[in-house]
Amino acid sequence: MAEYDYDVVYLGTGHGTFDGVIPLAKRGKRIAVIEDGTIGGTCSNYGCNPKITLDAPVAMLRSLENMRDVLPVKDAHINWAANQKHKQAVIGGIPDLKVSRMEAVGIEIINGYGILQDRHTVRVGDRQLSTDKIVVATGLRSHHLPIEGTELFHVSKDFLALEEMPASVIVIGAGYIGMEFATQANAAGAKVTVIMHGDQALKGFKQSYVEQIIADLTKRGVTFLRNVSLKKAEKIGNQVVVTDVADVQVTADWVLDATGRIPNVEGFGLDVVGVAYNKNGIVVNDHLQTTVDNIYAAGDVIDKTQPKLTPTAIFESKYLMHLFAGDTTAPIDYPVIPSVVFTSPRIAKVGLQADQITAPDKYQIETHDVLKNWYRNVMNEQFGENELIFDDQHYLVGATEMSDYAEQVIGTLLPAIELGLDSEQVERMIHIFPSLESITWEQI
């Protein structure tokens, strides 16, 4: 058998790598991780963590607004510069922390761009690493709208680093990033225009909830322009003017291109070694094995039907750890994966959704105006609806909610769905009272 320097070399240090490598190293495997950018990848540095930190005062402002009679705070507003400083204080130490945790278990961390030379060799700068297995966890990067003047646009990473909130912002795209950042920019005082390519925002989320959020943001001064096809952008003075195919123009100080994220699959040798990929990412089998059998992929870079989210990447990274450590030979078996859009209010969901049901007689859909529950009035929430889906044995199989606490509600329902709890088991779950958990479980 060939002898290699490493058992596994990982490209990337995001959650597709990080959560599996530490336990794998503890099992005695010789591991190197190669990172071209910031240690920890997108979620920790340019995604979830900075986003949720910047969002905290946005959510707080809404809560304050809901309780304004009780808490008559005058002139509550977001100091964006201070919010940015706070964010940096919260997340700035994460890369070093991750480095020390990996180094503590003997993982070698190599800064640089990893290039596959052959199926057992990775090159970084002038180093050649020989390895038994390779895991490609190179993630996604921002898509750039292919129109004249696209270089005038900024992307999510830039938004998360804004020192000051510009007076006016155009957001192109109304997916996760578009809607979350439009919410933040509006709350921080910017005049926001969201440019939608089609008619629907947040495809995949319950549209009646999405439309309520759009209506609320509209009331707060955000302009939504639907069915717009942009053709160019130009700089006039200090502002950017975007023009659509019908020659309608919108002007702002700052433009966010939020038209999606695309897989990092080019330029590091996948073609050379024969790893197949397409526009959605790397093709893998049910063991996360690519078309080259000692090369695996994990996280967002995979072409998959599961949502490209941090919890999915963590699950895949841990699955590969178990596979490489010899704990399992079974295919990956994904659990239900919840998702949330961090607007104010949030929309969260898990499991089967009403628009996915093809045999309506087999399911029962229960809708709740959650604001009718006394507990949900404690914080004087203004929005609160959910939809719970049960199968014909009355097992909970799916749920979605729009409210200020939707992610917590969906999180608390998750075990009932994933573990397939029957009504007796549901009854045996005793929750603290009063709490969001107890009120939520009353519904199942």
Ligand X SMILES: NC(=O)c1ccc[n+]([C@@H]2O[C@H](COP(=O)([O-])OP(=O)(O)OC[C@H]3O[C@@H](n4cnc5c(N)ncnc54)[C@H](O)[C@@H]3O)[C@@H](O)[C@H]2O)c1
Q: Does 173 bind ligand FAD (CB under 6 A)?
A: no
d(CA 349, CA 422): 20
Minimum CB distance to ligand FAD, residue 263 (Å): 10
Return d(Cα 31, Cα 133) in angstroms, integer.
10
SS (H, E, C) 245-264: CCCCEEEECEEEECCCEEEC
Nearest residue to 380 via CA among 101, 173, 71, 118 = 71
Q: Is 311 in the site for ligand X (CB under 6 A)?
A: no
Rounded to a whole number of angstroms, the minimum distance from the CB of residue 155 to ligand FAD is: 9
Distance from C-alpha of 401 to C-alpha of 206, rounded to nearest angstrom: 9
Distance of alpha carbon 7 from alpha carbon 131, whole angstroms: 6
Per rule CB under 6 A, is residue 134 in the interface with ligand FAD? no
DSSP string across 166-231? -SEEEEE--SHHHHHHHHHHHHTT-EEEEE-SSS-SSTTS-HHHHHHHHHHHHHTT-EEE-S--EE
Partner whose footprint covers residue 268, from ligand X, ligand FAD, none (CB < 5 to 8 Å by kind):
ligand FAD
The residue (of 91 and 309) whose beta carbon lies closer to ligand X is 309
Least separation in angstroms between CB 238 and ligand FAD = 26
| By CB under 6 A, residue 174 contacts ligand X | yes
Can you list the alpha helix ranges (DSSP code H) found in 330-441? 406-418, 423-428, 436-441
Site string for ligand FAD, 254-283 (x = CB under 6 A): ----------x---x---------------
Contact between 242 and ligand X per CB under 6 A: no
Specify the 3-state DSSP secondary structure of 70.
coil
Which among ligand X, ligand FAD, none contacts residue 139 (Cβ within 5 to 8 A by kind)? Answer: ligand FAD
Binding residue (CB under 6 A) for ligand FAD from 31, 171, 177, 347: 177
In the shown chain, the binding pattern of residues 334 to 353 toward ligand X, with x for contact by CB under 6 A and - for none, equals -----xxxx-----------
Q: 153, 171 in Cβ contact below 8 A?
A: no
**Region from 22-30, 104-112, 176-184, 361-369 binding ligand X, contact rule CB under 6 A:** 176-184
Looking at 85-93, 167-175, 231-239, 374-382, which segment touches ligand X (CB under 6 A)? Answer: 167-175
Question: By the 8 A CB rule, do 22 and 31 touch?
Answer: no
Q: Which amino acid is at 422?
A: D
Interacting residue ranges for ligand X, rule: CB under 6 A: 145, 172-178, 180, 195, 197-198, 230, 258-261, 307-309, 339-342
Q: Which residues bind ligand FAD (CB under 6 A)?
A: 11-17, 34-37, 41-43, 47-48, 51, 113-114, 137-140, 156, 177, 264, 268, 299-301, 308-311, 313
